[in-house]
Structure 1
Amino acid sequence: MSTYKSLADNDLFSLMQDGDRYAFEEIYERFNGLLYIYACKLVSDREDARDIVQEVFVYLWSNPNIKIKSQLSAYLYTAVRYKIFDWLDKNKSKSNYLQSLEKFVDRGDCITDNYIREKEFASLIEKEVSLLPPKMRQIFEMSRQQHLSQKEIAQLLHLSDKTVKKQMSNALKVLRLKLTSFLILAVVFFIS
Structure 2
Amino acid sequence: MNLYSDDDLIGCVVHGDKLAFNEIYKRYWAVLYRHAKRMVKSDDEAQDIIQDIFEYLWRKRESLDIKTSVSSYLYSAVRYKVFDLIDKGKVRNNYIEALGSFIANETYTIDHLIIEKELAFLIEKEVSFLPKKMREVFELSRKEHLTHKEIAEKLSLSDQTVKKQIHKALKILKPKFGIFMWCYIIVKFFI
Tell me which interval the TM-score lies in, with the shorter structure as reference length: 0.3 to 0.5
Q: Could you say which structure has the greater relative contact order, defined with CA pairs below 8 angstroms and 6 or more residues apart?
A: 2
Calculate the TM-score normalised by the size of structure 1: 0.46
Calculate the TM-score normalised by the size of structure 2: 0.46
